[in-house]
Structure 1
Amino acid sequence: MHGKAGPMIYAGIDIAKNDHVVGATDEHGRDASKPMKFANSAGGFDRCVAYLEGLAESKSDLMVGMEATGHYWLPLFCHLQNEGFSVVVINPIRTDAMRRFKGSSRVKTDMIDCVLIAETMRCGDFEPSRLGDESMMELRQLTRLHQELKESVANLKRQVITALDQVFPEYDSIFSDTFGESSKAFLKRCPTPEECLGIRADSLAGTLAKASHGKLGRKKADEIKSIAKGSCGMRMATSALSFQIKLLIDQIDFIERQAEEVEAKIREGIQEIEPLILTIPGIGHILGAQIVSEIGDIRRFHSAPAIVKYAGINPSVSQSGKFSSDDNHITKQGSPYLRRALYLAAMGQLKLKTPFYDYYAKKRADGKSHREALIAVSRKLVHVIYAVLSKQQPYDPNAAKSPELASRSE
């Protein structure tokens, strides 16, 4: 019993882009009201609030749940919380399990799914949800934006290389960094062998000298012209490929400038919110901000293994029930952003040869693959991160060497 005046009611909301559906069940699993569709709008939210207020004697007798479907759930979640409702977010995997248990059709039906969400809550298969304060949400938005910008740049660079492979296959031997300032200055001016040969050597030398701050000049210009003269690049559609490369380089420069602006805001944000994460070796401002913002309020998690599970780096269990943390694949059922950040943080530990490196070496000596050992380091790193954030104490290098910690993070 929940100890309230009236019977407990569980309301489930199936989330979509344009319309949502809300339905409810009581504490005995009986339908509490007919499901209702409402628009993803201010008016629709008001209809939802009116529906929910009619379900129970008081808001303390009502629990509202919704699936974390993309980003569409956030506005409604915030609205209902502001209205004083107790709202939780349900992992879609949980409702899928409930659907199988109930023997429902594999085809998703909004009117059925909202009740399945309610039933999932009634069975207690959920965890409390906290969005965190506004500054934490802003940091999360910034770190995700930064990651998207970096991925965009990487994609643009792949396109440049693809074009160069066609029109100027020898180009990767000219500069040590295809996307360094000198190389980009060259590509903006004459990305094809034909264009390069059409420019005077002293003019090209001037372009290189300016971009390299005097490190490159006539000698490099002559070298490039010699390579261009013997290029085996194709001679068809070179005008279009040249135009494409120039545009792509401009886009790379623009997005990289944007990424730098975002980085400045992230550095400022992590220093204000949780600078202690930066005391852990291998975790800089950007990575630290991503880890902290994706974890959110550390009070959401009762232990480090809970964060491991949230990140989806906990080992899966085979259908037979046999379990081995080293032999099984990770679940990948948690936050992909946090999982990626922890993986990168683990790689940083290896580069710096921190105490985690010995743990990695031990796993490799035990026959584990590089990836398996790195995931094991990620799990161990979570225990250190949890200790730093929950205790509000700087990183203790001795903790990373602790046998007790090693056994807990297996």
Structure 2
Amino acid sequence: MIYAGIDIAKNEHVVGATDERGRDAAKPMPFANSTEGFGRCVAYLEGLAESKGDLLVGMEATGHYWLPLFCRLQDEGYAVAVVNPIRTDAMRRFKGSSRVKTDMIDCVLVAETLRCGDFEPSKLGDEAMIELRQLTRLHQELKESVADLKRQVVVALDQVFPEYGSIFSDTFGESSKAFLKRCPTPEECLGVRADSLAKTLERASRGNLGRDKADEIKGIARTSCGISVAASVFSFQIKLLIEQIDSIEGQIAEVGARVRSGIEAVEPLILTIPGIGHVLGARIVSEIGDIRRFRSAPAVVKYAGINPSVSQSGKFSSNENHITKQGSPYLRRALYLAAMAQLKLKTPFYDYYAKKRSEGKAHREALIAVSRKLVHVIYAVLSRQEPYDPEVARNPLASRSE
């Protein structure tokens, strides 16, 4: 058996290989991250073994740069395993080369990691699953962008209109945004006639707000302690940020609609679990991928990085073991949010949370325990292709036999 390792980078990759005894099978070779470079890599691999079945190719999951090459090698018929960089770093320390890091050395370390580990060829999943994964990650990134823009608006308002937070129940509700688009500073507010401001509020609130609210805002603006220095720039900034928020929120709605239709087509059974809606369910399903690639629910727990680490030496055993966080951060976040939803809805998982708290677990520790139990339920639903069963939620061991 020959093991080929590829060190991934943005512009240039390096491929090297070892045999089953750990001896160099070929001299490492750099190649460009291009169609021509991929062709050179394929030619290199063809010269390593008599058949493709005698060769396992490995590459680190470095950002997103590995994906095009992975797809090309799979299309060529090669078995390709995506290696967690943590495994490669462990091999580097084992080899005693923790202070030595070059592309030529790293590709061989990837090959050695394959040789010494128990790796199976990785799968991307079908096109529908890949599309769903891209959409859910885009949805999350857009929401994070909006959150950042909102923070910037609040910072600006705290300087020019500190009292603004008390005017509307939601600073970023439709009525508040309509006001901020027109007169975000006290000076501008006082320069607008009350009846004109009332019409703006009435349209935005669909008749719930009007002249009384306009008079209230003008009264607060009249006694505001906000700064007047560079007020025109602050006004311009706030208006621009509100426009960006509106634009991105429209994009979020558009992406969300695609996510909803996607999860209903790919795996609607996830929606039968309480607290898991379309977007969250799509995140979980798309990050797990094909459930058949996991032998059991604990394997999914490990993949998410919510399995507890072990700290033990001799007779000492730590009681404060943290989760490993060595898996998918996207899946880990989604499961954490799903666990929080269980508490809000007081589902059967809430009783499990309360039990962990009564055992002395902190809130976050108990929530992680709920996340792990939730994985067992998700695994049962997806692997059995059966709707959610509350009895599985009450018994955390119900799906361990899978």
Per the TM superposition, whether the score is higher than 0.5 is yes
The answer (yes or no) to whether the contact 1:120–1:126 under 8 Å persists in 2 is no
Amino acid at match of 2:47: G
With over 3 angstroms needed to count, the CA separation of the structure-2 counterparts of 1:101 and 1:319, relative to structure 1, is farther
**Pairwise CA distance, 1:404:** 3.2
**How does 1:259-408 map onto structure 2 within 5 Å?**
259-318=252-311, 320=313, 327-402=320-395, 404-405=397-398
The answer (yes or no) to whether the contact 1:167–1:238 under 8 Å persists in 2 is yes
**Pairwise CA distance, 1:125:** 4.1
| Whole-angstrom distance in 1 between the partners of 2:140 and 2:397 | 35
Alignment partner, residue 47 of structure 1: 40
Q: Deviations over 1:323-371 (max 9, x none)?
A: 9797310111110100000000000100110000000001111111110
| Whole-angstrom distance in 1 between the partners of 2:398 and 2:315 | 24
The answer (yes or no) to whether the contact 1:277–1:388 under 8 Å persists in 2 is yes
The answer (yes or no) to whether the contact 1:128–1:300 under 8 Å persists in 2 is no
| Whole-angstrom distance in 1 between the partners of 2:327 and 2:296 | 16
**Helix, strand or coil for the counterpart of 1:186?**
helix
The answer (yes or no) to whether the contact 2:79–2:121 under 8 Å persists in 1 is no
- The match for 1:166 among 134, 149, 159 is 159
Alignment partner, residue 224 of structure 1: 217
The answer (yes or no) to whether the contact 1:317–1:323 under 8 Å persists in 2 is no
| Whole-angstrom distance in 1 between the partners of 2:275 and 2:206 | 32
Q: State whether structure 2 residue 7 is matched by structure 1 residue 9.
A: no
Aligned-residue sequence identity (percent) comes to 82
Amino acid at match of 2:272: T
| Whole-angstrom distance in 1 between the partners of 2:316 and 2:190 | 65
Amino acid at match of 2:378: I
- The match for 1:18 among 11, 21, 36 is 11
**How does 1:182-193 map onto structure 2 within 5 Å?**
182-193=175-186
**Helix, strand or coil for the counterpart of 1:89?**
strand
The answer (yes or no) to whether the contact 1:157–1:252 under 8 Å persists in 2 is yes
Q: State whether structure 2 residue 105 is matched by structure 1 residue 100.
A: no
| Whole-angstrom distance in 2 between the partners of 1:303 and 1:202 | 66
The answer (yes or no) to whether the contact 1:94–1:125 under 8 Å persists in 2 is no
**Pairwise CA distance, 1:235:** 1.1
**Pairwise CA distance, 1:317:** 1.2
**How does 1:60-75 map onto structure 2 within 5 Å?**
60-75=53-68
**Pairwise CA distance, 1:403:** 5.9
**Pairwise CA distance, 1:148:** 0.2
**Helix, strand or coil for the counterpart of 1:404?**
coil
Of 86-95 and 119-128, more deviation after overlay is shown by: 119-128
**Pairwise CA distance, 1:168:** 0.2
**Helix, strand or coil for the counterpart of 2:274?**
coil
Amino acid at match of 2:137: R
With over 3 angstroms needed to count, the CA separation of the structure-2 counterparts of 1:74 and 1:325, relative to structure 1, is farther
| Whole-angstrom distance in 2 between the partners of 1:358 and 1:391 | 25
**Pairwise CA distance, 1:263:** 0.4
| Whole-angstrom distance in 1 between the partners of 2:342 and 2:236 | 42
The answer (yes or no) to whether the contact 1:13–1:22 under 8 Å persists in 2 is yes
| Whole-angstrom distance in 1 between the partners of 2:231 and 2:172 | 20
**How does 1:195-234 map onto structure 2 within 5 Å?**
195-234=188-227
With over 3 angstroms needed to count, the CA separation of the structure-2 counterparts of 1:359 and 1:29, relative to structure 1, is same
Q: Deviations over 1:172-215 (max 9, x none)?
A: 00000000000000000000000000000000001000000111
Amino acid at match of 2:153: V
| Whole-angstrom distance in 2 between the partners of 1:323 and 1:255 | 52
With over 3 angstroms needed to count, the CA separation of the structure-2 counterparts of 1:324 and 1:208, relative to structure 1, is farther
Q: State whether structure 2 residue 71 is matched by structure 1 residue 78.
A: yes
Instruction: Compute the TM-score of the two structures, normalised by the length of structure 2.
Output: 0.97
With over 3 angstroms needed to count, the CA separation of the structure-2 counterparts of 1:339 and 1:323, relative to structure 1, is farther
Alignment partner, residue 257 of structure 1: 250
Residue correspondences, number: 401
With over 3 angstroms needed to count, the CA separation of the structure-2 counterparts of 1:366 and 1:333, relative to structure 1, is same
When the two chains are superposed, the root-mean-square deviation of aligned CA atoms in Å is 1.5
**Helix, strand or coil for the counterpart of 2:397?**
helix
Q: Which runs of 5+ in 1 are unaligned?
A: 1-7
With over 3 angstroms needed to count, the CA separation of the structure-2 counterparts of 1:399 and 1:357, relative to structure 1, is same
